[in-house]
Amino acid sequence: MNKRFHSVTLEASRCKGCTNCLTRCPMEAIRVRGGRAYIMDERCVDCGECIRTCSYHAKVAMTDDLGIIENFEHRIALPAPSLYGQFYHAKSIAVILEALKYIGFTDVFEVAKGADIATRLLQEELKNPDRPRPLISSACPAITRMIQIKFPTLIPNIVKVKQPMEIAATMARAEYSKKHSVSKDKIGVFFITPCAAKVTAVRNPIGQEKSEVDGVISMLDIYAGVFPILNKVSADENVKIATPYGVGWANSGGESRAANINKTMAVDGIENVAHVLEEIENGRLRDLDYFEGAACSGGCVGGPLTYENKYVARNKVMQLISDLPLERPEDAVPCRVLNSFDFMLDTPIPENYSMQLDEEVSTAMEKMERINEILESLPGYDCGSCGSPTCRSFAEDIVRGYFNITDCIFILRDRLKVMAQQMVDMSNTKRE
Amino acid sequence: MIAESFSVEKGDYLRAGEASTKMKNMLKKLGIGGSVLRRISVAAYEVEMNLVIHSLGGTLSIDLDGDYIWLVSEDIGPGIPDIESAMREGYSTADEIAQGMGFGAGMGIPNMKRNADVFEIESEPNKGTKIKMGFLMGGGKSE
């Protein structure tokens, strides 16, 4: 398993080497060299912001092809609740679930049901007075990775409940195996994802050894197969759907509404989330019980691998929710489920030291002094022409050995001016 | 030895918090993390807000000497007439603007003291206040 696997990758042949992604990466994880971008593996959190901003579609998300499901005799689709928002004309959630069976899946298990279970476990964790406040949601893997890198002091605040996707994968496999008397290894479970971060979370899990998910398929890749048949399939309208609260996890704020607690805050958009995490780190917002941050604006419905406009999708999800019978996760999730499975994260979430200048504090301090000296000589335009997102990061890159000072076009111009003057002076010298 | 200082203006709520953020980012780059960073974050923010709310302006500086990280706040007035009271939890002289923004719970100075390994405060009315806080780099007090 590649420790540094990333779903977000660069299609080098399409990259022009412009500054769109460079200056808008919230992690400052992109550099441009020799006319193309490079993603710094150790800093990228797979938020997908660059996929959205690249005008040339050079930033792509690696997902599994739909064909991967053929590897298993029994294949279960795990649709993220954000999928429901993608089909504006869908009459019900049941119809969407049914349609998935026509594109190759033998069965479907809603991730929203995993969210119902996650809600229950979250409520339990919130009852524990020894856990720090606010507890921070673990649902968005891009945010969890950002905390590992930028806000390591907040790692203890991260909720220890597994992501709904993982809970759903375990439940789907167990139920199917029991119902059809099939051995678990003959069953493949496939998450249908709105984002790249979930792909990385499956290949390279956080807080658990191994993912229960066998493959991750982009919503964009199943859209063409599902859309045309939506009005042709007839669904069993009595099929048991997740609660409106579980489905609501698709939208920003859905977790707090599901947990049914006061003193919560929901923030969407990775930059906005970073600002509020900063406040939490400063010791403000200590009266908050729960903080949910989603890297994508709008929440999962705004994921980079979704088709529908995020506002339209959010509305569609809300409309589908209003058609569901009003049922609380407390009533929908049997205690038997909570008692017979362990859905808590079991490996520690480590700090990520990729921002650190050196392992030795004293060497890091020397480097910091050099960075400050270099920074003094730079113009401070943060233009990105050098290939680094800001003048400060450029100074840091020089000290780290990635760049030379003359990669700054303004410094280069000044030096050329001096050189040109010297040449003029030399050409003017006359023989005595 | 590395030192950096930031000037903080009286009543400048637009930039309030910028200095502590910059200091925090600097410490993260130096590889300072865990409980020390957590305590410094809280103390730095409190002391910076104190400068904005109560002082006539001043500077906030950070200094590393190998053992300790020193956080020093120095202002040009008006000074704290009654330090004893200011050290007490719940005592506050924050004005209405600050209180409207959620400050003024009287936790500022006690909070700094609780988080720092070394805490010194000197103040002279009409002259100014100096707060010096030390944080042991190898860990120090736990919360």
Asked if the C-beta of A362 comes within 8 angstroms of chain B's C-beta atoms, the answer is yes
Q: Tell me which H or E stretch contains A47.
A: none
- Is residue A117 domain-shared with residue A203, that is, in the same domain? yes
Question: A98 lies in which domain range?
Answer: 66-340
Burial classification of residue A2, based on how many CB atoms lie within 10 Å of its CB (0-12 exposed, 13-18 middle, 19 or more buried): exposed
Which pLDDT tens digit goes with each residue over A222-238?
A: 999 999 999 899 888 78
CB contact under 8 A, B26 and A353: no
Q: What is the pLDDT of residue B143?
A: 47
| Cα of B100 to nearest chain A Cα, Å | 15
- Is residue A280 domain-shared with residue A391, that is, in the same domain? no
What would the mean pLDDT of A321-348 be, rounded to a whole number? 94
CB contact under 8 A, A283 and B29: no
- Is residue A212 domain-shared with residue A121, that is, in the same domain? yes
**Candidates 3.30.565.10, 1.10.10.410, 2.10.109.10, 3.40.1160.10; CATH matching B2-136:** 3.30.565.10
From A127-141, A299-313, B73-87, the region with the lowest mean pLDDT? B73-87
Residues 334-353 of A with CB under 8 A from B: 351, 353
Q: What is the CATH number of the domain that holds A424?
A: 1.10.15.40
Q: What domain count does chain A have?
A: 3
**What spatial distance separates the first Cα and last Cα of chain A, rounded to whole Å?**
74
- Is residue A144 domain-shared with residue A264, that is, in the same domain? yes
Mean model confidence pLDDT for chain A: 95
A197, A45 in Cβ contact below 8 A? yes
- Is residue A175 domain-shared with residue A283, that is, in the same domain? yes
C-alpha to C-alpha distance for A380 and A374, rounded to whole angstroms: 11
Is residue A347, in this structure, part of any structural domain at all?
no
CB contact under 8 A, A364 and B30: yes
Write down the ipTM of this complex.
0.82
- Is residue A199 domain-shared with residue A98, that is, in the same domain? yes
- The single residue listed with the structure tokens 């690696």 is A62
Asked if the C-beta of A278 comes within 8 angstroms of chain B's C-beta atoms, the answer is yes
* Closest residue, chain B, to A156 (C-alpha): B34
Q: What is the CATH number of the domain that holds A5?
A: 3.30.70.20
- Is residue A21 domain-shared with residue A49, that is, in the same domain? yes
- Is residue A245 domain-shared with residue A363, that is, in the same domain? no
* Whether the predicted pLDDT of A39 surpasses 90: yes
- Is residue A136 domain-shared with residue A282, that is, in the same domain? yes
Which pLDDT tens digit goes with each residue over A67-110?
A: 999 999 999 999 999 999 999 999 999 999 999 999 999 999 99
| Cα of A410 to nearest chain B Cα, Å | 26
Query: Which residue of B32, B41, B101 is the best one to mutate when testing the A interface, meaning the one whose CB has the most A CBs within 10 A?
Result: B41
B101, B82 in Cβ contact below 8 A? no
Burial classification of residue A214, based on how many CB atoms lie within 10 Å of its CB (0-12 exposed, 13-18 middle, 19 or more buried): buried
- Is residue A56 domain-shared with residue A80, that is, in the same domain? no
